[in-house]
Chain A
Amino acid sequence: MSRSFPRSLLLALVASTAVALSARADPQAQVVLVNLDGPNVGLNDPTPVAPVGGNTGTTLGEQRRNVLARAASLWARNLKSFAPVRIEVTFGPRNCNATGAVLASTGALAADLNFKHSKLPDTWFHIAVANAVAKTDLDPTGDDMIVIFNINLGAPNCLAGAPFYLGFDHNEGTGVDLLATATHEYAHGLGFSQLGNVTNGTLFLGLPDTYNRNLAHLRTGLTWDRMTNAQRIAASIDTYNVVWIGPSVTQAVPSVLAFGVPLLQVTSPASIAGSYAVGTAIFGPPLSSPGVSGQVVLATDPSDAAGPSPTDACSPITNAAAVSGKIALADRGTCGFIVKVKNLQNAGAIAALIADNVAGSPPPGLGGVDPTIVIPSVRISLADGNTLKGQLAAGVTATLGVDLTRRAGASAEGFALINAPNPVVPGSSISHWDPIASPNLIMEPAINPDLTDNLDLTKPLMEDIGWQLDKSQGNGL
């Protein structure tokens, strides 16, 4: 069927700077927002509103349009294409309740294969980048992607109190930053996503996409398109071992990602020596370099109403003499993390390791608030906790700190890390940067509160999948 849209529905032409084109120079991209909303709703809501965060729109609909146009402009200024990028946008009902909500749904509307100028045979391209590579609109009657934003967000029984923030300054408070959300969603439609199935390892209709061709698994040395389905399944959950090998991103890693990877370095016994991933705490002092070194000791406490396990540290520690001056190890469960760490601190521990009680990687962080905690603490995975416990009799020594020789979000080889949690998280795994990245990146699985208009590693990724970039524009607005 036709993918056409009435021209009257065109909302905005963004960044359509008139550029005198030579025969070979690709122009700055036009991003066209196609407003799917009817009169007086969504993007056309006439409700009067006050200016917010630099957004001077006078109605709710205008402010929404302004934000979506700003996000579109962010991409338009940085990409080149002869064909307009057409994004269908709408505010509509999405699934939500008091504690959860779909913020937005998005996807490319088409993908192309073996089109004019494609240098990658039998490889899918999202249609927007296919158009850019082909230097023509391969399907001029159709749009390139769709984004549906939740029109009820913030209303009673739809994450009340957390509406879309419509300012340009990323000062969303308890709300949801619509600008960052739209920038993230547009990136998916522009090509920052694999079309294959992360759960069963299959490629889209049996063929790789241009995103797949830049993914590699460090342990096997294979790129995604050269793996079997079984290998892709296994690689998808091999945390910190899936990387982006595209040259543009790899070149940009040093200018984007900061040095400093938090980790536990086990120095003895030799049989388990090495680096172990940690999830950092949002309470207590941050990890430092060279860090805290010492013997690892399992803390014990009573099996009581506060916590049934003798190693959950939910009650005052009973082997304080052994724990004092050491790195204490305890198990997750029953009581809060701040209770455990405080008990370990009271026993004289110099640092705390909380071993997870469910399998998975990477270990998530530790949440809670207690300003009286003064020792560093982290979570380690269940498997790593068991590894340490198995060697405690022989004596385990370790350093908990930050490795300043590695960049957060990059492999030791300098490649950007791709999100590969275990267990797999469909929709999140593989099609995002690893959340260990620092500073936070726009295409991590979560919309973090410290995001700005910077397109970080995501802009060079667009070049790796086939876009030409306007590098005169810096990395944002």
Chain B
Amino acid sequence: MRIPFLGAAALLLAAALPARAAEPGASKLSPKAAAAVKQARSASTANAPATSGLKAQKNDDGRLRAPTKEEEAALAAPSGSAPVRVTSVRVNADGSVIATLGDETMSDLVAVKGTDGKLTTGCTPHNDSSKVVEGTVSLPASRTAPETR
């Protein structure tokens, strides 16, 4: 997975880490892109998982740094469950923006077996697919296996 489990690397700190360094490309952002970045970061803060203390992530060279939102989410995930990906953005030096996409942009392809044994398939948002599997939300009837009544 691209989101590693961080338990061993994460340390609790007693003091806050320095704030994010100024991004060299920030001055090159278009106004709309700047607004998108601001929106992403405010949403990321609002959706950040609850934590019991300050955390840090260890770089490959052993130095400590502030964890990313993704890493915080991974740390907060219940033991044994898949980490939750959250959307975050990075501004590059040329003013371009890269958004690491969260789970809310994933989709699930779901199959449901009808009373006649035929499968109906359809795409659902990743975060809602359990409702379809459990039958609380129906997939639209397909042309190949339409409802019989």
Contacts and interface: CB of A to CB of B under 8 A. Distances in A.
A binds B: yes
Interface of A: 1, 3-5, 36, 88, 90, 94-116, 121-122, 124, 127, 138-139, 142-143, 146, 159, 162, 174, 176, 181, 184-185, 188, 193, 195, 204-207, 279-282, 332, 334-338, 364-368, 421, 425-428, 431-432, 435, 445-449
A142 B2 contact: yes
Contacts of B124: 425-428
B60 to A, nearest CB: 9
B39 to A, nearest CB: 5
Contact of B98 (A139, A174, A336): A139
B111 A432 contact: no
B140 A428 contact: yes
A100 B142 contact: no
Contact of A109 (B2, B121, B140): B2
Nearest to A121: B30
Interface of B: 1-3, 29-30, 32-33, 35-37, 39-40, 57, 68, 70-71, 87, 89, 92, 94-101, 103, 105-113, 116-117, 119-126, 128-130, 132-135, 139-149
Given A110-B99, A195-B101, A446 B120 contact: yes
Given A112-B97, A121-B30, A367-B146, A206 B122 contact: no
Given A105-B109, A107-B105, 16 more contacts: A97-B133, A103-B111, A105-B129, A106-B108, A109-B100, A109-B101, A113-B98, A114-B33, A116-B96, A122-B36, A205-B99, A282-B144, A334-B149, A426-B125, A447-B109, A447-B121
A110 B100 contact: yes
A153 to B, nearest CB: 8
A100 B110 contact: yes
Contacts of B121: 103, 176, 445-447
A368 B148 contact: yes
A101 B105 contact: no
B143 A365 contact: yes
A282 B146 contact: yes
A384 B97 CA distance: 48
Contacts of B111: 100-101, 103, 159, 162, 176
A100 B23 CA distance: 47
A206 B32 contact: yes
In the A-B complex, the 7 residue pairs with the smallest Cβ-Cβ separation, listed nearest first, are: A107-B106, A365-B146, A364-B141, A367-B146, A100-B133, A205-B36, A367-B148
10 contacts: A1-B57, A5-B2, A100-B132, A101-B111, A121-B32, A127-B98, A162-B113, A337-B148, A365-B143, A446-B121
A447 B125 CA distance: 16
Contact of B97 (A104, A113, A174, A281): A113
B126 A445 contact: no
Contacts of B133: 95-97, 100-102
A408 B117 CA distance: 28
